[in-house]
């Protein structure tokens, strides 16, 4: 089963996303994870962030730092839970 983010009304398979969009999703997941109140929402966004870093690593790209990414992301933006 392919790992995917749901946005724009469809599944977006992580391995098929371009790197810039993948990074945007990681930044938004980190921002939402840092700013939300619920434990479950935090855990889901941290999982999304790890999924992005796993894909970046498989592409030979530099991984994101969670707290730096959170500063660049948008709460509840594309790629967040």
- How much of the chain, in percent, has pLDDT values that exceed 90? 91
Gap between the Cα atoms of 39 and 18, Å rounded: 30
Domain range list for the chain: 16-72
Check residue 1 and give its pLDDT. Answer: 76
Question: Which two three-digit tokens encode residue 19?
Answer: 């790197």
Token match 């724009």: residue? 8
Specify the pTM.
0.94
pLDDT per residue as tens digits for the range 15-42: 999 999 999 999 999 999 999 998 999 9
Gap between the Cα atoms of 81 and 7, Å rounded: 10
Listing DSSP states for 42-53 in one string gives: HHHHHHHHHHHH
């Amino acid at each position: 089963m392919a790992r995917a983010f749901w946005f724009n009304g469809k599944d977006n398979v992580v391995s098929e996303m371009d790197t810039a969009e993948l990074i945007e999703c990681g930044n938004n997941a980190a921002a939402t994870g840092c700013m939300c109140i619920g434990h479950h929402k935090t855990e889901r966004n941290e999982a999304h962030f790890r999924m992005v870093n796993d894909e970046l690593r498989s592409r030979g790209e530099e991984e994101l730092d969670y707290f730096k990414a959170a500063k660049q992301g948008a709460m509840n933006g594309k790629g967040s839970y």
